Amino acid sequence: MLKVPTADEPIIQLRDVHKSFGEAEVLKGISFDVRRGEVVCIIGPSGSGKSTLIRCINALVPVTSGTIRVDGIEVADPKLDKLALRRKVGMVFQQYNLFPHRTALQNVMMAPIHVLGQDKREVEVRARALLAKVRLAGKEAAYPGEMSGGQQQRVAIARSLAMRPKVMLFDEVTAALDPETVKEVLVTIRELAEEGMTCLLVTHEMNFAREVADHVYFTDHGVIVEHGSPETLFSSAVDPRTRQFLSQVL
């Protein structure tokens, strides 16, 4: 079922997504939409399935049942064109996962050249601009092992952006960082959001979610317990589980 996406149709659409690992059911029927240009945060206690959820969206993890549609692509389709999906969806991980044997610049340039077969010189111009955009001009020749966590994470963001995605997924990208470098990564993400990039974040940074998100989802034990604008969710949550979680983290 391939539909031509229209401008106001959600760019990400999940309907009744279930995921089990063996006996353990991690996602128990998740449905939500992300519209173009929106910033959506998913919060919730550890083990509530947040990371699994975000990894289902770019097919790193296959769903057990339900449908996921990303900009007209059916992710659960067995004949899924993974490359087409991953061109649209960029992903940034908690552990940065840079390629340690390549410099910052090469990390950003690799995928467009290897995967998309783009011209090396054209990619290099773009990669340098992206590194400057994440405030890493001058670090082009540094290897990941020579950079701080925050710098590595910004390289990872630039690496993802080099593929010109339509959506960016952030999986607890500040959770492994020192407190003082968290801010520089959040600033980068905020700028992306302000430029109109569609962002879906799993995060523990409640202040960031409150300031930047258009919509916040609270998940627990594989279900969406409650959702709403950050103002309503953070100040007047209805469900006791949400209230308890927020009282612990805020």
* Residue among 88 and 215 whose Cβ is closer to another protein: 88
* Residue among 12 and 89 whose Cβ is closer to another protein: 89
- In the complex, the smallest distance separating the C-beta of residue 122 from another protein, rounded to whole angstroms, is 18
- In the complex, the smallest distance separating the C-beta of residue 24 from another protein, rounded to whole angstroms, is 19
* Residue among 175 and 206 whose Cβ is closer to another protein: 175
Bridge-based pairing state of the strands 215-220 and 39-43: parallel
* Residue among 117 and 240 whose Cβ is closer to another protein: 117
- In the complex, the smallest distance separating the C-beta of residue 206 from another protein, rounded to whole angstroms, is 26
* Residue among 120 and 235 whose Cβ is closer to another protein: 120
- In the complex, the smallest distance separating the C-beta of residue 163 from another protein, rounded to whole angstroms, is 6
Question: Crossing angle, helix 179-194 and helix 149-161, to 10 degrees?
Answer: 20
- By CB under 8 A, name the binding residues for another protein: 58, 60, 82-83, 86-87, 89-91, 93, 95, 97-101, 110-111, 114-116, 143-147, 156, 159-160, 163
* Residue among 155 and 225 whose Cβ is closer to another protein: 155
- In the complex, the smallest distance separating the C-beta of residue 205 from another protein, rounded to whole angstroms, is 21
Cα–Cα distance measured from residue 223 to residue 217, given in angstroms and rounded to the nearest whole number? 10
Cα–Cα distance measured from residue 170 to residue 85, given in angstroms and rounded to the nearest whole number? 16
- In the complex, the smallest distance separating the C-beta of residue 111 from another protein, rounded to whole angstroms, is 4
